[in-house]
Each structure stands twice: as structure tokens, then as C-alpha cells.
Amino acid sequence: MTKIVTPAEAVSRIADGATVTVSSSSGLGCPDLVLRALGDRFRAEGHPRGLTTLHPIAAGDMYGVKGIDHIAQDGLLTRVLAGSYPSGPSNLPMPEIWRMIVEDRVAAYNVPSGILFDMHREAAARRPGVLTRVGLETFVDPVREGCAMNASGAARPIVARVEFAGQTWLHFPNIQPDVCILRATTADEHGNLTYEHEGAYLGGLEQAICTRNNGGLVIAQVKRVTTNGSLRPHDVRVPGHLVDLVVIDPDQRQTTETPYDPAISGQIMRPWSSFDLAEPGVEKAIARRAAMELRGGMTANLGFGISAMVPRILLEEGHPEAVTWAIEQGAVGGMPLTGFAFGCASNADAYIPSPQQFIYFQGAGFDMSFLSFLEVDVEGNVNVSKLGKKPYLTAGCGGFVDITAHAKKIVFSGWFEAGAEIAVSPAGLRVEKPGKFTKMVDRVEHVTFSGNRARAQGQEVLYITERCVMRLAPGGLVATEIMPGINPQRDIVDASHGRVALAPDAVTMPLSLLAEGPMGWQP
């Protein structure tokens, strides 16, 4: 009997009250056609009702791949656990899933991506849930929000603090999926899946195993179907015995606003000269200072925002392969991409499944991590996961909490003030007009990174801005390096309302950060 069905036939098998796990990372690997069919079925029939959905990374974006927004309907969706959610600029309409969250119409949780993958592994093996120290003293911890994003979420706790072997841990009980929806490139008639046009494997295999081990249904969306026996066994990433139904979407996009780019899936290698360099300006100066922390042969993790510019700095310096980059979607090496293609890499050395990448991150196997911030407080806490006034401007925590939990060294990058007008010249930076508000606050809105825990663990933490480099000290934030042209008292101490102290031995950063050509970085 054939496994190939229409989208409507596939979703007709999903029952009321089911828990559905979806493999996706924004537009990357999103099984959008199946999710659209699920939303269409509910509008037509009023079923299935009362679904819980699990999204280790976001499903869909705000630029044409609706993803989770297809199913963001009252009655259809009652609970959602996601590492991240669709996000974008304030000039675009708020995604419907965010509207449901802020209006408390769905019980919603922001769970670190690595922990969500861990939950699938533990449920698959029928172990008693996830026991982890990732997230302690952050919003993940039940002493704070316990991952809950609204009142409905808080009313149904998903994590508890427990004592085990003389230490405090977080325990996430198992959530067993009834349905898995994943995406690949090619399926044969038996349901074996290959990923040759995909920019990442994500967690489809682990999510399918978990669902199958709990007696559930696995639906795969693919671009094309081939005959049995025509796929190389080494290319099969999800074997057919785990797949029940196959839906074909010949028009599925590789990632956000990208129908298909063979360099993203490693089928061609781009010349290094084909990549854009970082645009001159304030953010480039910040990224350059961050790059100065690197040495040849290191492995570094990379996040969104200014941090994503750091590989382009090394490219301009003539050393694009001096550092191995590792990103949470699974690419290792090469050139991590920016903009709509963030989460992908060209010229990668390897692609590994996201769950294995997160094991590497949680255990801090890398040398350092480059991440961004929304705001930093006097204790060194960082918020990247919540912006109450405009919630969908941030995607949530994603892998941020997993990455920072035990990292040996963390370099945060961001603006000291929001909306400041900064003049840039080879002689230095000048604050021509102060910003609307400082990002150095008394208390962050959401603790995505705990400064107190970092101090207790001996982590090295830097905060790099257009005005200074701050370090996490026992007493709080201390500016140890000043950008050329910046007035330390006026532009740092006074602008932060005294929340940032000035080190007595603070030095001036090199003018090479503002050079028109390469700054002279050497591995």
C-alpha cells in the first residue's frame, strides 16, 4: 500500500487532543503545506480540537512561510511549547500565534531548544523526563517564570526544581507526541527520506523515533518521490520504517525567501570572494572588537544580530577558515549566512542533527560563543527573549540558554543606547545625539542569561558595545576598554545612570577597529 497521500488525507489522521511535534527552523525545513492543510481542516470541520504542539525551533516566519500561524486558531490549538516563535519588524502585522499568546488564548511556553530536543530523546527511551542544570536562575527556572509566557501557561507548570545527588536540577516531565510532522527533500516509495536540498537536518529523526516509540503517526513532507532502491543507504537520514505518510510539495522553499540555493545544502562551494563583507559603520566596529577575542583553530558558536557579522570580519581579514563556526541548526564550518538565510551556512564542513549539536553546546565543547543582547542589568543578567511592548520583535530564547549555560567564554554584542546617533570617522566615534533610552538597566524584563550564575561558575563574560567593552565583575558591570572618541564619564557612566562603572585602568580600543580596510587580524 502506498504511503503517498494528499495533505488533506494526511491531516485527517490527526485526532482531537493529540500532541503534535513539528520539525522546522523558521522557514528552514518547514513542512508548511501540511500545517496549512491542518489549519484548513479545522476551519472546515472544527476538528481536530485541543492540540498541543512542540516546536524545538520556530515553525514559520513573517515573510511568506506561515508555519505555526496556519494552526493558530481558537479551539484547534490549546497548548504550545516552542524554542522560538516567528519574529520580525514592528512594521509588519503581529503573527496570529503571538496574538493568541498575549491575549492568553493558548497556554504558551518558551522552552530552550536543546531542552525540547532532550525531552524527545527521554520520551523516546521511556526515561523519566529531562534532568538538567541548563536554565537555572533564568526565566526557565520555576523560581522565575518556569518557561511560561502567559497566565494560561503558568497555570499548567511544565518544569520543577528538584534535588538530586546533592545538587539542584530542573526536571521536565515527559510529553509524549502522538504525531510528528517533518520535512525532507526526497522520499522513496517505502518512505525513506534524504535531505540533499535541505540546509539542515534539524531534529526530524529524533522526533520521528520519539513519536514511533510512543505508538504515534509520522508524516513527512518532501519535494519529490523516487522509486524503491534508488536512494543510497548512507544518504537516508530518516528510514522508511519510521514514516507512515508522505506528502509531496514540489514548491517547498529551502528557507525564508529562498526557493533553492545549492550552496546552502552543500552541493556547491562558493568562492570566498562571492560573500559580502560587513558594511562599514558602528556595528562593524563592534563586530571587529568581538573578533579580536578569536585565535586561529578555535571553534565558536554564533548567534543572530551583530554577532552574525563576526565571520565576515575574518573574511575581510583574509582568514575565512581560521575559525570553525557551529550553529544550532547543525552546520559546522564554512560561512554562516545572515539576514533571511540565518541558520544556514555555505561551504560548511559538515551538517549534524540539531539534537547532537545541542549536546555539544550544553556540554560547552566549543571555545567561546558570540551572542547579542536586548538589555543588560546591573547584575550582568541579559535579556534576549522578551520585549513586552512589542513581543514579536524577539523570537524567544531559541538555543541561547543551552549555549550560555556552561560556556567557558561568552561575548555579548549590542548597542549601549537605543536610537542614538553616532558619527563614525577614522579618528573615533562621537555621540551626536543621545538615544531614547539606555540598554543598561536596573533589572532586565526577562532573565535569559544569569550573571550571578555565571560568576558562580567562573565563566568569562564580555559585553561589547559601540562605546566600551564591559566585563562581568563581582560588583557588576565594569567598562575596561573605551572606544576611541567616546567620553567615558558622559557617554558611559552618566548615560547608564551610574549602572556601569569605569575601571581605573581602562584602556582605549585600537583605531584599527575604524579602519576603512582590514584591521590586521591574524590567526
What residue type is assigned to position 74 of the chain? D
The residue from 328, 375, 417, 481 that is catalytic is 328
From residue 32, how far is each of 65, 187, 432 by CA, in Å? 7, 17, 46
Identify whether 328 is a catalytic site residue: yes
What is the distance between the alpha carbons of residues 514 and 319, in angstroms, rounded to a whole number? 19
From residue 342, how far is each of 61, 230, 298 by CA, in Å? 12, 32, 21
Handedness of CA 81, 397, 212, 254 (dihedral sign): positive
**Cα angle, residue 409 at apex, residues 499 and 449 outer, rounded to 5°:** 50
Pair type for strands 428-433 and 421-425: antiparallel
What is the distance between the alpha carbons of residues 387 and 396, in angstroms, rounded to a whole number? 9
What is the distance between the alpha carbons of residues 198 and 238, in angstroms, rounded to a whole number? 14
What is the distance between the alpha carbons of residues 515 and 505, in angstroms, rounded to a whole number? 25
Q: What is the DSSP string of 399-412?
A: THHHHHSS-SEEEE
User: Residue written as cell 542569561?
Assistant: 449
> Which segments of 281-389 are extended strands (E)?
299-302, 324-326, 331-332, 335-336, 345-346, 350-351, 368-372, 375-377, 382-383
3-state helix, strand, coil in the chain (%, to 5): 25, 30, 50
Cite the active site residues. Answer: 328
